[in-house]
Structure 1
């Protein structure tokens, strides 16, 4: 019996993937506030409605896994933009904010869907809040790693700083993207938010007696600070 289950496992995983991707595709095509029917998801995936209920415990599980997939897509784009090996601090901040703007503006329904429930089982936190915390943790690890190069260790300050920047960026971009008549054009918004992020980073650095040049390649700054240390 167990051997039979193993043989069917790839087939079932493929069906689950097809159903989840179909749900995400239809979500993007559906007006805000309108729920995508299960039968429509099954039809888009090329499967019978009954298959959906054999692959998932119910609609709640399908939605939860869809949120997880959406959050991973968002995270991957942000982490690509955060590549510290290329560019200055200003350039890294600008392209990261630009990536957030592009994703939120390009996928408004998916972004809104992240607020409708959790992405993890037995969680009371909606997927967007979990996503912000996850990205903040990734950035915190990066910041504390860089700080360790120059002998500065303040994990609590780094955690507070990165969460403030990430949550501020997401909230500001969301407000701009959902405003039918935004006060700032797209490029100005990106520049402004990146500037706010830089001032937070600069303020924390100066508290540790570090003066950073935001226009130098970050790898150069790290090398210089390491040499001084």
Structure 2
């Protein structure tokens, strides 16, 4: 009798794929509330941090402003109270003091507030150096002008005293003219300004020579011209020379 082959069948259960594209998970109000609260808390903390950084930066800027004001206006050693040659070269020195204070304040701030402060400090530094520079230049000009006028006054007295010694008298005037030309050129004077200053100097010399001559020859001068109060100290041809 023929044998019929038998096969063992293995059954395999396959799970059909679940489509999740349209699957909606029910929302949990409690979870949503917690998430929203967490987000709100994070935003509030970040906002508070920003405000704190701004406050710290502004406080540091205020301190720097007070330092700048003291450096400029302190009654004892403020830059604006330094006059003439005492102010020369001080602009850079006081700017270095300003920079040192700015660096000190910056190092006291947290990193998050430091950059904002440094930006404000840079603007304050520009204002500080500009004011310091203007003051120093003004005092330099005043000092040079004072020295120049003092030199001319001394030169006029010297030239007046040499009246009668023609060679030295002319030389003294020529030296003064050279000083006028050099000063005028250095300060951008026009030729007319230089010439006017020379004329002013010549008149001052003539006035001094007249006063000295009249003092040495008082009796003869009064007999010829009257009292000085009568003549109004007018110049006479004898006291004017060409050079």
Specify if TM > 0.5: no
Higher relative contact order (CA 8 A, sep 6+): 1
Question: Bigger radius of gyration, 1 or 2?
Answer: 2
How high is the TM-score relative to the length of structure 1?
0.30
How high is the TM-score relative to the length of structure 2?
0.29
